[in-house]
Each structure stands twice: as C-alpha cells, then as structure tokens.
C-alpha cells in the first residue's frame, strides 16, 4: 500500500470517527433562544442590528488579513530556502521592509487606537461582548 493510498483511506476514516465521537460525547441542550437567528442567545435589542460602530474594527481586520497573507507569501520562500540564493533573500527583505514601514506608518498616525469602552456608539453591543 502506497502512502497516497493510505492517506486516501485513512483521512476519511479518521474524519468519520472524530465526528462520531463528537456526536456521542458532546452535550446537547437546545432551547428556543439558542436556536434563534441572533448571536449570543439574546434577542436583538432595539436598533442594535443596524447601529453604527467604529471604523477601527475594519482597520484591525485589514491588518490581520495583511499579516496573514504575509505568512502565506513567505511560506514558499522558507520551503525552498536553499535554492533561492541571495536574490530570494533580498526580495524577502524588501517585502518585510515594506510591511514594517506600513505598520510603523499606521502606528505613527494612531490608526490602531480604539476609543474607550464607554463609547456611546457601541450601546448594548459592548455589553454583549463582555457578557457572552
């Protein structure tokens, strides 16, 4: 049996076994509020689902995506490190330099600061984050 055949047989069997263990051992306590469409098991408060919130959350999300993609783009270089030579190293250093300069620029512009938790824009959403 080749390793490829082994994995084509082993992985589906392992997935089925782990799903069966989860179904058997996981606690099941459904109730009406838990099965409702709103998150956290609470009914939506008046105006909460369409309220404004700070743009800082989008900035943090974009930064997360940027550095997540950075790891994805650096992985091929790391895997083929011996074959890249000095040219690959210089390209990676320039890539890291551009990312570092962009991050330093955002820190310098104070773009990553979030207002205090007492921000009236959040309303009940802030309460849900601390209580859920």
Whole-number Å distance between alpha carbons of 100 and 78: 19
Q: In the prediction, which pLDDT does 38 show? A: 63
Whole-number Å distance between alpha carbons of 14 and 20: 10
The two three-digit tokens of residue 49, written as one number: 């689902």
Tens digit of each residue's pLDDT (9 = 90 or more) over 39-52: 555 555 555 556 66
Tens digit of each residue's pLDDT (9 = 90 or more) over 3-25: 888 889 999 999 999 999 999 99
Give the helix ranges, DSSP H, for 1-132: 3-25, 56-79, 81-108, 124-131
Tens digit of each residue's pLDDT (9 = 90 or more) over 66-82: 888 888 888 888 888 78
Mean pLDDT of the chain: 77
């Amino acid at each position: 049996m080749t390793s490829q055949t082994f994995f084509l047989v082993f992985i589906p069997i392992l997935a089925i076994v782990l799903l069966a263990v989860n179904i058997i051992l996981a606690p099941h306590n459904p109730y009406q509020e838990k099965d409702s469409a709103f998150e956290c098991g609470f009914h939506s408060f008046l105006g909460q689902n369409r309220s404004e919130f700070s743009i800082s959350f989008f900035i943090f999300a974009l930064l997360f995506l940027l550095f997540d993609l950075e790891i994805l783009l650096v992985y091929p270089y790391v895997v083929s490190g011996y074959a890249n030579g000095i040219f690959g190293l210089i390209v990676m250093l320039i890539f890291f330099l551009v990312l570092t300069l962009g991050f330093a620029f955002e820190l310098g512009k104070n773009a990553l600061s979030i207002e205090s938790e007492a921000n009236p824009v959040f309303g009940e959403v802030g309460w849900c984050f601390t209580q859920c």
